A and B are shown apart, each in its own frame.
Chain A
Amino acid sequence: EVKLLESGGGLVQPGGSLRLSCAASGFTFTDFYMSWIRQPPGKAPEWLGVIRNKANGYTTEYNPSVKGRFTISRDNTQNILYLQMNTLRAEDTAIYYCYNNYYWGQGVMVTVSS
């Protein structure tokens, strides 16, 4: 059974940083592109970026809306996907999901507020 379990969310002040994790199991992690997607309450999802699979050198692509502030990485020995978020703004408040092109995690809430 595929499982994607995000963690690391919470309340952070504007300008702060946060690192999200996504623990993956039930599939061969290195074979899959892994993405982060966020969804502000009541709004449509927004794709943030992707880290490719082993065959494609684990390279990354980002949405211009977060490029330079957010960084995606992966630990292929522990099957964990990361999202490092810096210089956070109120508009970054959302549920953050990891996604392997087929399955979504349950999501983790990030609230940016003073």
Chain B
Amino acid sequence: QKEVEQNSGPLSVPEGAIASLNCTYSDRGSQSFFWYRQYSGKSPELIMSIYSNGDKEDGRFTAQLNKASQYVSLLIRDSQPSDSATYLCAVKKGTGGSYIPTFGRGTSLIVHP
């Protein structure tokens, strides 16, 4: 079992809908969680980080973390075709300067007009 699991997709949603991307992780000691967006042929860019249980909102994006269930999700409201990309979930095991991030393989999102 990979340490960080994501459904590879593709997840297809219509424009204006809510896209829900999910990620589970196996290490209960994980403390930091990140969502990256990667357009085809481009490098990843960080869009959200979350460290404590609950929801964190930033514009159209909401990250949700449930450490008891070892589950982190990303909701994209009012999805746009420009949101079509691969979304990578990353989990950091250590604290402070100990930086060993583990990435999921990513979920491909397609937003169709």
Asked if chains A and B come from one complex, the reply is no
Write the residues of chain A forming the contact surface with B, with a CB cutoff of 8 angstroms.
none
